[in-house]
Amino acid sequence: MLTRAEFEDPNLLALALRRRPLRRSGEFVIVGLLTLCAAISLLTTALITYVLVSEAATFFQEVSFREFFLDTEWQPLFKPVSFGIWELVAGTANVVFWSMVMALPLGLATAIYLSEYAAPRTRRLLKPMLEALAGVPTVVFAYFAINVITLEVLMPALETVGVDLPVFNSFAASLMLAVMILPTIASISEDAMASVPRDLREAAYGLGSTRLEVAWRVVVPAALSGIVASVLLAIARVVGETMIVAIAAGSTPNLTLSPFETIQTMTGFMLQVGLGDARRGTTDYQSLFAVGMMLFMITLLFNVAATLLVRRFREEYE
Amino acid sequence: MAAVRAHVSLRATGAVARRQFVSRVSRYVLLAASLVGIIVLAYLTYDTLNTGASRLSWDFLNSYPSRFAERAGLRSSILGSAWVMGVTVLLAFPVAIGTAIWIEEFAPKNWLVTAVKLNLANLAGVPSIIYGILGLTIFVRFADLGPSIMAGALTLALMIIPMTVIAAEEAIKQVPQSIRDASLAVGATHWQTVRSHVLPEAMPGIMTGIILAISRAAGETAALIMIGAFTFIAFDNTSVKDDFTTVPIQIYNWTIRPSQQGFQVNASAAIIVLMGAVLTLNLLAALIRERFRRE
Amino acid sequence: MDREVPPVPELKVAVPSSMQSGEGGGAIPAMFAATQYLDEEERILKPAEPALFRLSNVNFWYGHKRALADVGLEIPVNKVTALIGPSGCGKSTLIRCLNRMNDLIPGVRVEGLVEYREQDIYAPKIDPVEVRRRIGMVFQKPNPFPKSIYDNVAFGARVNGYKGNMRELVQQSLRQAALLDEVQGDLRKSGLALSGGQQQRLCIARALAVQPDVILMDEPCSALDPIATLKIEDLIRELVKEFTIVIVTHNMQQAARVSDYTAFMLADETGAGSLIEYGHTQEIFTNPKDKRTEDYITGRFG
């Protein structure tokens, strides 16, 4: 702060004002530190890319792209070894497909109910419960998938109709994955629906539409890009989820979309390598990074697409 | 004068009656669909309590892992979780807030800040197991930290920074411009304004984000297994150089044992502990959010 | 359209014998002097023509806040009736009572009688969807759906299960809304790509395609420029040959230009709006009976 004398004497004032650059230089350091913090996130991405690319490069010296992408068998741990990624991709696609079949209708229905039907009090009750669902650690879902869904419910039920369900199966994993992503789909879709202008609803009601018609023919189409974004984010989460599939879906690579078989996903394989004692430099260890890179690119694709859609949606209505 | 006579029926008939019926029924169908997830959660909670509650005891919380289910406990994993969480927060908190302040207050409005924001959004979506192999390669192997608490905390810190930054950014954005203007107008510098006015105003929102991030890290399993934390620990952690295990890893460990050995009961009991902690954190975040809600 | 009442020539208003010309009405031709009278028993302000709507003792609450107090009036068929008054006087609330749009807001309550073609539209058996498809509405801000022009117009007919030729209906509705010439051959274009005035006429076309009996317009020109406003006003005069129109406006010149009848509303100190004066537009504007109407019209407040 300036003193009174400094205000009154031009020379002193000039001196006092010259203090500012000093104070600024202190701030220069602070801003520098803040910039450094921001740089850490860029560095993280750089490191992830570097680690995946450089380690995967070692892998591709041993295994050709041709084998990786054209072979149909993934058998890195037993001889004869074989590194065809599609069995793992199929495993991931399997759980993505079945979890979406279950979660998409439920998530969309929840979003429509919360946004178009529910009284404010019901909303205030339901939303925190859904958020609680989003906070459940995935290892807990994994425990339920195998111990409750498979062993207590599905296997006894299917046994009575003569179907033999393997202990590790894609169905139980998909079911828990669906429960896991339900809040993602429901809350992002609901946000999108809530930001559809009230005008449009009034216009539709004014033309003699029922509540369901307003929701389904006006609100859902208007919020479509947001809804699609929620689904893409949910898919990215399923693709990247590890514990549920590793515990409940098994560790047998299997080129199938059947929900009643044992499979292995990309993440499931990666965890298997992480648990084992494969040595650095061996091909089976390095395959971890090749699969990791595949996983990283797939999730990135879905996430970027979702980000772009959300941005487009914002531009439409804001 | 006479009114115009009724020529029309305003009662729902024919097609309208059918449409209204469908619409009214849809309310209950949609409500039922909304409850499915919650009912599954309720059933699972019931099942867990039913299986695991009887196993919960001071002995269980205070025992080291063991080959025998009835003697095994959570002592080392609870301590490990506490250590890792503590160090993670110390590492992630300043960096996340710093990044958020830089983005919202000091970043030049050009491609750089757009790149940083886009990058953060994508990092938030990177699967945790990828952070795991990053930690394994960089912290465990390259920096030679081994599967230590420090390596685990660094890995988890990188994992939760993006989501914390996004929450903190949101909170800083909510601070009214008028507060900044008032501070700048009395001669405070930009940094002074941020430190003494913007940050305190944004703190509840930032805290909510941090707490949710901690609760996410507390349940994280795959990333820590990747860095090698799936180990048998029968001692108390005393330094960040120690090997460690955590509660979710212990749950995993017990879950994958053959079911007849009785470890499933332990897993259920450990889930009660973990869920208790996670729900408490979520509740805390919700309370802070409600308490400081800006109308 | 089945209507028993032939259009009444403008300004030729029947004068009930019970009415006397108001004080200071000397300069006004007698034919304007008494277009309104109050049914003392029912407290309903009535014009001379047959009424399509008849409201008596209408009270409206948003939660505990009363927004309308004892409103009673008749709205004549095939006329333009304007609701005017300062902001917050309840004119929008009133117009939204006429097609039960207010039902959509949680916690509102309507008391009293709102009759359309002698039926209480708030009676338990009455279906709001049926009410709204007969009583169309155009809103303050043009609100086309983010769909093509064609789909916008066809929307209402589609949900109502229209069986006829949809193309024809769309064309005809656009023609009626004086928009066809401007969008002909471009019906696949997004409704949002039109100018504000065109969007509002699209919304009118959309309402017409449901083949309503009445069109309610809630400040339809408040978001438009003067030229677009004039177009809509011309359109209103055209449409009233076939439809009954009720329009809320804060623009008194507009009320004077387009309406046959004008109702002036004012809120009391609690915020509850009531009807102050209702009558032939020309009379309301040239010879208001109530001091408050006169103050408002001459711009002394509001």
Taking the Cβ of residue A196 and every Cβ of chain B, the question of whether any pair is shorter than 8 Å is answered with no
pLDDT of residue A185: 95
pLDDT band at A49 (very low <50, low <70, confident <90, very high): very high
Residue position matching structure tokens 């109530």: C290
Among the partner-chain residues C141, C144, C156, the one whose CB lies closest to the CB of A207 is C156
Minimum CA–CA partner of C53 in chain B: B3
B1: closest CA of chain A, how far (Å): 30
Taking the Cβ of residue A295 and every Cβ of chain B, the question of whether any pair is shorter than 8 Å is answered with yes
Looking at per-residue pLDDT, the higher value among A273 and A27 belongs to A273
Residue position matching structure tokens 């409206």: C60
Task: Residue A3: list chain B partners with CB under 8 A.
Answer: none
Rg (CA), chain C: 19
Which chains pack against C, by 3+ Cβ pairs within 8 A? A, B
Taking the Cβ of residue C124 and every Cβ of chain B, the question of whether any pair is shorter than 8 Å is answered with no
pLDDT of residue C30: 37
Residues 61-100 of C with CB under 8 A from B: 74, 77
Spatial distance between the Cα atoms of B38 and C51, rounded to a whole number of angstroms: 54
CA distance to A17, C163, C180, C208, per residue, from C168 (Å) = 78, 12, 12, 13
| SS3 state at C56 | strand
Render each residue's pLDDT in chain C as its tens digit; 302 residues: 344 444 433 333 333 333 333 333 333 333 333 445 566 666 777 887 888 999 999 999 999 999 999 999 999 999 999 999 998 899 999 999 999 999 888 889 999 999 999 899 999 889 999 999 899 999 999 999 999 999 999 999 999 888 899 999 999 999 999 999 999 888 999 999 999 999 999 999 999 999 999 999 999 999 899 999 999 999 999 999 999 999 999 888 999 999 999 999 999 889 899 999 998 999 899 988 888 999 998 887 64
Neighbouring-strand partners of residue A70 = none
Residue position matching structure tokens 């945790």: B128
Taking the Cβ of residue C46 and every Cβ of chain B, the question of whether any pair is shorter than 8 Å is answered with yes
Among the partner-chain residues A24, A210, A242, the one whose CB lies closest to the CB of B129 is A242
C185: closest CA of chain B, how far (Å): 33
Instruction: Spell out, as residue ranges, where chain B has pLDDT lower than 50.
Output: 295
Minimum CA–CA partner of C141 in chain A: A199
End-to-end Cα separation, chain C, in angstroms: 40
A206: closest CA of chain C, how far (Å): 6
Among the partner-chain residues A106, A135, A292, the one whose CB lies closest to the CB of B133 is A292
Phi first, then psi: what are they for A169, rounded to 5°? -145, 155
| Residue-by-residue DSSP string for B21-35 | HHHHHHHHHHHHHHH
Task: Residue C137: list chain A partners with CB under 8 A.
Answer: 202, 206
At residue A316, does pLDDT exceed 80? no
pLDDT band at A307 (very low <50, low <70, confident <90, very high): confident
Residues 11-70 of B with CB under 8 A from C: 11-13, 15-17, 19-20
Residues 240-259 of A with CB under 8 A from C: none
Cβ-contact C151, B42 below 8 angstroms: no
Tokens of B19: 């449409």
pLDDT per position as a tens digit, A182-236: 999 999 999 999 999 999 999 999 999 999 999 999 999 999 999 999 999 999 9
pLDDT of residue C21: 39
Task: Residue A303: list chain B partners with CB under 8 A.
Answer: 121-122, 125
Mean pLDDT of chain A: 89
pLDDT band at A75 (very low <50, low <70, confident <90, very high): confident
pLDDT per position as a tens digit, A170-182: 999 999 999 999 9
Find how far residue A305's CA is from the centre of its chain. 12
Long-range CB pairs of C162-169 (<8 Å, 24+ gap) are C169/C209
Sign of CA dihedral B132, B136, B139, B140: positive
Kindly determine whether residue B10 and residue C48, on different chains, have CB atoms separated by under 8 Å.
Answer: no
pLDDT of residue A26: 76
Kindly determine whether residue B278 and residue A135, on different chains, have CB atoms separated by under 8 Å.
Answer: yes
Which amino acid would we find at residue C90?
A: G
At residue A121, does pLDDT exceed 50? yes
pLDDT band at A134 (very low <50, low <70, confident <90, very high): confident
Phi-psi region of A79 (alpha: psi -120 to 50; beta: other; left: phi over 0): beta
Task: Residue B10: list chain C partners with CB under 8 A.
Answer: 116, 119, 121, 126-127, 130-131, 134
Phi-psi region of A208 (alpha: psi -120 to 50; beta: other; left: phi over 0): left
Strands C244-248 and C261-267: unpaired
pLDDT of residue C10: 39
Find how far residue B118's CA is from the centre of its chain. 21
Taking the Cβ of residue B185 and every Cβ of chain C, the question of whether any pair is shorter than 8 Å is answered with no
Residue from B36, B119, B216 to probe the interface with A (highest A Cβ count within 10 Å): B36
